[in-house]
Chain A
């Protein structure tokens, strides 16, 4: 899905959940086989208009996430292009075994859209946060994990899954209306491929999701201080683009930055790659701690966990200077 700079600005104000609904609306205009299901979170998925314009392509199953995944698999088995929405923990945890059986084991082509992952549910608290979802989902064979960094990337990801046969997926939405954009002009997205956001030579930073907007800002600030960061968007956490390994040779240090706990997310994925490739590169992780934290606005939470651009700049300088 191509976009203009004006689109990017407009979409940023709407935020990922409202834009998810908008993108589905666009896709439904082209694809009669599209069906969107939700477990009573249609409104929260920006699907109010979709429901009105395409009532036959929308199914609400009520508050029953395990059932949601099973019903979706049955529809996918009959050839429909299926997207389901719920909040990240309700999909990745409550329906985890249904995902394992229907999407992993039987490979039914269902796209799971995990709304409000990371810290973006703000005052709704830890019950609604997606702190551990990647760790859980990535243990399931055959399941893709894709984490768009902003609304324009979300559009590209959804369009790609809707137009191709990529197999079952977990699409992780983070950020809120107003979260920083990573992409201000149109770019080329390829399924399963990393995207270099900034070329650099001093240190390698890998990140994904809406926190990438903060990292990008921080990289700009660091440039002014003569620290030249190579920043790569790992939009696909599974399958992982093996090209990342070739970067290990070019740098002495990698920092992974993510809105996920330190257990089982990108830091673990990269640590596994570093070990397997016997690389000498030094690995650092900036992530959420392995505990339940406080609640507050999204901005407050990013600051609390040191994931806002100012805190990131300080942390990166410290790690850069570390011998």
Chain B
């Protein structure tokens, strides 16, 4: 078990490293902070669930589309995409841009970028699985800021009404949105109450703790969809980026790039 957890830890480190590398090599500003906050979340999802391109499979939907750097990295780490491909990130005409563009052959399940839409789509998939008596799961990752979108809560109601115990949502509570720190009403603590209020099975945890995340997925309900409220740090792993919202969308210079790699390595020890 410990060996397994260490392997996922290594994967999270690798995801972060690739995020920094492709962001720097693109030469363009990109969404680094919100990608770094969800590295463990993705490492766990891609290790714990049966995610592949063939059917039947568990399906991962990135609703916070601006976390695409993290998705692209995990897809590379899990051999969905070749290394030279990921360096096309944010090059003119590339399919790898700030937000996912659906390409099921390489594991990108949806096009996204407009917030608040992924959960409804996930509900549709989860209802399909129930109808087909397919035991697969659907996992949707949203941001805490994204939860201001009303459509998230529309979908939350449909999920409980249909007893979708095959549906998981992970709320990446990094405490920030585009314009800065998130309001108290949408804090980690309040977020738990909100999902409970909507009738979900709620497990909250440290979103950077691998075994806590695995446990949160394990503690599913027999009848309810599960919300995992993950407390995270925006920019996690790179000291000068942590909780610094300038890195919601920022450009790495060569010096900052080298400093980021050093910081990542130091923090991974």
Contact = CB atoms under 8 A, between A and B. Distances in A.
Nearest to A63: B154
A160 to B, nearest CB: 24
Contact of A61 (B102, B128, B150, B158): B158
Contacts of A76: 124
A78 B132 contact: yes
Contacts of A98: 117, 120, 151
Contacts of B77: none
A114 to B, nearest CB: 19
Contacts of A68: 120
Contacts of B124: 70-78
Interface string B5-41: 0000000000000000000000000000000000000
11 contacts: A59-B162, A62-B154, A66-B116, A66-B150, A66-B151, A69-B120, A73-B124, A74-B120, A97-B114, A97-B117, A98-B117
**Main secondary structure on chain B at its contact with chain A?**
helix
**Main secondary structure on chain A at its contact with chain B?**
helix
B121 A64 contact: no
Interface in A64-111: 64, 66-80, 97-98, 101-102, 105-106
B157 A62 contact: yes
B125 A70 contact: no
B158 A64 contact: yes
A67 B120 contact: yes
A130 to B, nearest CB: 22
A102 B102 CA distance: 11
B131 interface: yes
Interface in B98-136: 102, 110-112, 114, 116-117, 119-129, 131-132
Given A71-B121, A71-B123, A66 B128 contact: no
Interface string B76-105: 000000000000000000000000001000
Given A77-B124, A79-B128, 7 more contacts: A66-B120, A70-B124, A71-B121, A75-B127, A80-B128, A102-B117, A106-B111
A56 interface: yes
Contacts of B126: 74
Contact of A70 (B131, B132, B155, B162): B155
Interface of B: 102, 110-112, 114, 116-117, 119-129, 131-132, 150-151, 154-155, 157-158, 161-162
A119 to B, nearest CB: 29
A139 to B, nearest CB: 16
A56 B162 CA distance: 12
A78 B128 contact: yes
Interface of A: 56, 59, 61-62, 64, 66-80, 97-98, 101-102, 105-106
B125 A78 contact: yes
A53 B3 CA distance: 54
B102 A71 contact: no
Nearest to B129: A78
Contacts of A77: 121, 124-125, 128
B151 A67 contact: yes
A101 B125 contact: no
Contact of B122 (A69, A74, A80): A74
Contacts of B125: 74-75, 77-78
A66 B124 CA distance: 13
A94 to B, nearest CB: 10
B119 A70 contact: yes
Contact of B154 (A67, A72, A79): A67
Contact of B111 (A70, A75, A80, A101): A101
A167 to B, nearest CB: 15
A62 to B, nearest CB: 6
A77 B114 CA distance: 19
A69 B116 CA distance: 13
A101 B117 contact: yes
B120 A106 contact: no
- Looking at B110, B126, B150, B154, which has the most chain A CB atoms within 10 Å of its CB? B154
B154 A66 contact: yes
Contacts of B154: 61-62, 64, 66-67
A74 B123 contact: yes
Contacts of B110: 106
Contacts of A106: 102, 110-111
- Looking at A61, A62, A72, A79, which has the most chain B CB atoms within 10 Å of its CB? A61
A66 B102 CA distance: 20
A80 B132 CA distance: 11
Nearest to A110: B124
Contacts of A73: 120-121, 124
Contact of B117 (A64, A70, A79, A80): A70
A64 B110 CA distance: 21
